[in-house]
Chains A and B, each alone.
Chain A
Amino acid sequence: MTSETVDRPGAINARPVRHPGRWVTMALLGVLAAMLVNSFLTNEKWDWAYTFQIMQQTPVIEGLWKGTILGTVLAMLVGVSLGIVLAIMRMSENVVLRGVAFVYTWFFRSIPRYVLLGLFAVGLGYLYNTFDIGIPFTDITFFTLDYQAYSSTVWVGAFALGLSEAAYMAEIARAGILSVDRGQAEAAQALGMSPGQTMRRIVLPQAMRVIVPPTGNETIAMVKDTSLFIAAQITLELYYQATLFGSRAFKVMPGLMAATLWYLIVCTVLMVFQSKLEKHFGRGFGAHAPTKRERRVTALLNRTGDH
């Protein structure tokens, strides 16, 4: 070793910090995991074969698609669109609209969804057999809906859940709209855009960047809340159908696990979808590769453009 290398420090070869706590927790978790696997393998009541069988039964699959997934989609469509309308009403200069939006939010946030489903399906069906559209206080009717035929369908269940969801979406949409710089609306107004155009074309698309992530969470929560459909006596739904198979065969846990596994799969897919949406609405807010439409426009301009 020459004196130069002593003067000038070389590569660092230090001892790393020890983390004994990590090893202890890892060992503990390892034991717990082993216990769980042991239970899965040795306790025959798990009955995985039967669980997977239940997952593939036609009524279960049908409940998944026509109850859980369709119900979630419909409820969120109602919730998001009504929520945006409520948010705009909350920020309106019109006192009446502001008041209505406030009362709506107050009411629907205070009612448990389970109770709300009962109110809509059972309660309204008890009050009225049909809904008529016509001129109030006269006998003139344009359209009659046989409510009894619909009260226990996914349509009414999703509508009730959607009304509840709108109360939460209103706050999310309001936060999103307020997050857009005031200068954006001014620029749009200065270009002669009407308040409606300004909201639709300039403010809302930018608000989406803030609205989408919490809406994803709301959607995932909604998937789980469709399991409340039984309060409206809606039986075409994943949880009810899966547990029905379980209880009929006296295999409770396989029935519950069939539902659990399906919920896990659906929510995982939704999370992937959500991150895609976030990327879409985040465009213009960071570097990104050109989209299909932009490439098409470039090609078009190159063909026509000798400016």
Chain B
Amino acid sequence: MADMPLVHAVNVTKSFGANQVLKGIDMDVRKGEVVCFLGPSGSGKTTFLRCINQLETIDGGRIWVDGDLMGYAEKGGHLHRLHDKDIARQRREIGMVFQRFNLFPHKTVLDNIIEAPVQVKGEKKAEVTARAYELLERVGLADKPLAYPGQLSGGQQQRVAIARALAMRPKLMLFDEPTSALDPELVGEVLTVMRELAKEGMTMIVVTHEMSFARDVADRVVFMDGGVVVEQGDPKQVINNPQHERTKTFLRRMQSEHEQVIAAVADPLGSGQI
């Protein structure tokens, strides 16, 4: 399976109670590809992301990451649920960045980054610490190793979260609305780090509302709505010239929101009509 994509998802379904959130998603992501998921809230894009690293168990379909069937083993024609420890092993290869950062508040920045490599992979503390320093340099926080997350801004916390995920040397990075919880002036610093990462060839799946990031950085844009993939393809094609009515409606709404933000920034006293 030399040409098998890094992420290979077939007919993935997922329900929360009576509410079917994913209605048969097929999705391939090649190694080194950057894929952005767009769509209104409740469309299932975050759930799909969480299914990839088994934070949610799927009801139907299969997901392979680098040839590994996620969450199950196929033996004698039967699927066997994997033990928690084996699922944990599968997750080591997949980094995840959360909307709300989820840094460990009781640990310093440095301890946040070295925690998993030392505890999970059993790497030497000195080696990981050296690597943590390089990572902090890369995300522009070389001066903050001993700060606690609570002493950092949202943008700084999210950059630490990215460094923490990268410290495990993942094959794949999942970003779940990484800038949605940030003040507008802090979004840029996080996107810059993500742009760098994409340039270095990291395979990335990004759930986002940042249209300009999707247009400039993504190799492919996937538009989801109502638990299905409505449309996907080249970013400029999908964003500038959407084929489906639902995509057009969504993008129009995003555009007008974007203009409102620009107007609000240009007119901070709010005297203009918004």
Contacts and interface: CB of A to CB of B under 8 A. Distances in A.
B96 A285 contact: no
Contacts of A190: 53, 55, 91, 94-96, 98, 165
A33 B116 CA distance: 61
> Chain A interface mostly helix, strand, loop or mixed?
helix
Contacts of A201: 115, 119
Contacts of A36: none
Interface in B85-132: 85, 88-89, 91-92, 94-96, 98, 100, 102-108, 110, 115-116, 119-121, 129-130
B86 to A, nearest CB: 10
Contacts of B105: 206, 284-285
A307 interface: yes
Interface stretch (A21-29, A41-49, A181-189): A181-189
Contact of B164 (A191, A283, A290): A191
Interface string A177-203: 000010110111111111101000110
A217 interface: no
Contact of A191 (B142, B149, B168): B168
A287 B151 contact: yes
A189 B91 contact: yes
B203 to A, nearest CB: 16
A120 to B, nearest CB: 37
Interface residues of A, number: 31
A190 B120 CA distance: 11
A283 B148 contact: yes
B3 interface: no
Nearest to A301: B145
Contact of A284 (B84, B120, B148): B148
B146 interface: yes
Interface residues of B, number: 41
Contacts of B94: 190
Contacts, number: 92
A115 interface: no
Contact of B149 (A194, A197, A284, A290): A284
A297 B106 CA distance: 16
Contacts of B72: none
Nearest to A307: B133
Contacts of A202: 104
A284 B88 contact: no
A190 B146 CA distance: 23
A300 B267 CA distance: 49
Given A201-B115, A307-B133, A307-B137, A191 B91 contact: yes
B110 A297 contact: yes
B66 interface: no
Contact of B102 (A187, A193, A290): A187
A186 B98 contact: yes
A305 interface: yes
B127 to A, nearest CB: 12
B98 A307 contact: no
Contacts of B133: 301, 305, 307
A280 B145 CA distance: 20
Given A192-B120, A194-B85, A284-B150, A186 B102 contact: yes
A294 interface: yes
Contact of B98 (A183, A194, A298): A183
Contact of B119 (A193, A205, A284, A301): A193
Nearest to B137: A307
Interface string A265-307: 0000000000000000101111100100010011001000101
Given A190-B94, A290-B146, 8 more contacts: A188-B116, A190-B95, A191-B164, A194-B84, A201-B115, A297-B145, A297-B146, A307-B133
Interface of A: 181, 183-184, 186-195, 197, 201-202, 205-206, 281, 283-287, 290, 294, 297-298, 301, 305, 307
25 contacts: A181-B102, A186-B98, A186-B102, A187-B96, A187-B102, A189-B55, A190-B91, A190-B95, A192-B91, A192-B121, A194-B88, A195-B88, A197-B120, A201-B119, A206-B106, A283-B106, A284-B105, A284-B150, A294-B108, A294-B146, A297-B145, A297-B146, A301-B129, A301-B133, A301-B145
